[in-house]
Chains A and B, each alone.
Chain A
């Protein structure tokens, strides 16, 4: 399967702990996105990378959140000092941007975070 993969699929942690999620995009996709989705809502944009450069961060991404994409390949999303409000599904997507107006985003299955 050459789709977007995310690990772990589920994470349960205690409030105050740090967690890290990993996303492996489709090979050669130069754009990578992180979204967060709470129950009953559509995904909300968190941040975006073009290759290894993080070009945009949502106001939802507090200073407890950090994302990296070293070497423009896989990406990690870390949440420090987790809070119960961080409980959500964290989705990763990737796309290939070649200069045109359209770039379909391919989503991974998500990592479901539960903060106790």
Chain B
């Protein structure tokens, strides 16, 4: 599975959009981009995933560049409850499901 690079930390003001970047320059054509987050003292939680098209769900939007070498997770209106570590993961489509987490991005939403 391709390796990902994320900033160590970022701050975001409550109510504003949070844009979380992820680089995955070695991604191959059959690898998906997944995002999970982990709120303090909880297990990770699935947010969204995509292959090459932009995706949106009730939690976030995922923007994948045309060359697929990077992506951005967008939390449209950050709340204090969005404070968490956000993990960008790249995984083979035919993988049996093992997730390889990096260190992630610590996002702090401030009032």
Contact = CB atoms under 8 A, between A and B. Distances in A.
B is a partner of A: yes
Interface of B: 32, 41-46, 49, 85, 87, 93-94, 96-104
Interface size on A, as a range, is: 20 to 34
Contacts, number: 60
A56 B98 contact: yes
A41 B93 CA distance: 25
A45 B43 contact: no
Contact of A4 (B43, B103, B104): B43
Nearest to A55: B96
B97 A42 contact: no
A103 B49 CA distance: 10
The 8 closest A-B pairs by CB, nearest first: A107-B43, A42-B101, A101-B93, A104-B46, A45-B98, A43-B101, A107-B44, A91-B43
Interface in A66-116: 91, 93, 95, 97, 101-110
A5 B94 CA distance: 27
Nearest to A6: B43
B100 A45 contact: yes
A40 B103 contact: yes
A102 B42 contact: no
A108 B43 contact: yes
A56 B49 CA distance: 24
A39 to B, nearest CB: 11
A55 B99 CA distance: 15
A75 B42 CA distance: 19
A48 interface: yes
Nearest to A107: B43
Contacts of B85: 42
